[in-house]
Amino acid sequence: MAAGGLALIGASLLVTAPAQAQGNSPCYAKSGHLYCGNEAGVGLWRYPRYSDATKDVVDRLKSNPSYFQCYVSGQKHGGGNNIWYKTYGDVNGRTGYVAAKSVYTSKDPFPGVSHC
């Protein structure tokens, strides 16, 4: 029987719980840096703003959770604020910015993270 399925045993109905989905670890700050879950495959922008993706997305994050060096104020984005986190890409190691809406923080800027 697959996880999360139903089984009829005798006259009783047994409902099994689905397997625990692997969630993101809680975000935390250490030594001014952020360690937090993020949107899979998110692009790193050259500047803390959306512009021409063909020339201004400099790398991508494949890791999750990821390390973020610090934060800056930039263009307002769909997360309802203008916070962007600076980090290093996983494809070619370039430095860039990720909009806070793609980082799974509970508050932005996340407490304890240094301003760049």
**3 lies in some domain:** no
Domains: count for the chain: 1
Cross-sheet strand order for the sheet of 33-36: 28-30, 33-36, 66-68
**111 lies in some domain:** no
**54 lies in some domain:** yes
Confidence band of 75 (pLDDT split at 50, 70, 90):
very high
**86 lies in some domain:** yes
**37 lies in some domain:** yes
Q: Which residues contact 104 (CB under 8 A, 6 or more apart)?
A: 24, 27, 36, 37, 38
* Alpha helix segments (H runs only) across 17-92: 53-56
Query: What is the mean pLDDT of the segment spanning 97-111?
Result: 98
Measured CA to CA, the distance from residue 51 to residue 20 in angstroms comes to 39
**11 lies in some domain:** no
Between 21 and 6, residue with greater pLDDT = 6
**114 lies in some domain:** no
**78 lies in some domain:** yes
Between 27 and 24, residue with greater pLDDT = 27
Report the mean per-residue pLDDT for the chain.
85
Residue 70's domain comprises 24-102
pLDDT > 50? residue 18: no
